[in-house]
Amino acid sequence: MSKINPLFFALGIPVVVIVILVVLVAPRMSGGGKFADLTPLSVEKYRSDWSSLQGNLYRLDCQVEQQLAFVEGRGRVLAVKPIEKDPTRSTGRIPVFVPAGSADSFEVGQRFKCRLRVTRDLLVVEALERF
């Protein structure tokens, strides 16, 4: 019976752990997080013709700028600034509606990845995660 070299365990186990972490963490770091399969919201298209986007789901990476309204039991309206890949393009702020079912707290400067649905002329947040 042959013995397994202890060096195999000393080097093999950390390598396996690193590979598993890379497999689990890399997709979240690649941009969309758990909403990576959604199309990013085009703010320019939303502003020019929101009716063509009605009923669709989109991903929005944004930063909270201001809370515009809060109604107990209904939800809140936030002014958010989309985070653009190209910092030279300034898109300004857009309002999003967060229904009351969300247990998250919102403060100015927090960054979120959101799954949005365009309903009529309103962007409704269906799910979100901080980043």
- pLDDT tens by residue, 52-63: 999 999 999 999
pTM: 0.72
The full set of domain ranges for the chain reads 35-130
Rounded CA-CA distance 110/105 in Å is 10
CATH superfamily of 35-130: Nucleic acid-binding proteins (2.40.50.140)
Rounded mean pLDDT of 126-131? 88
Q: What is residue 131's predicted lDDT score, i.e. its pLDDT?
A: 80
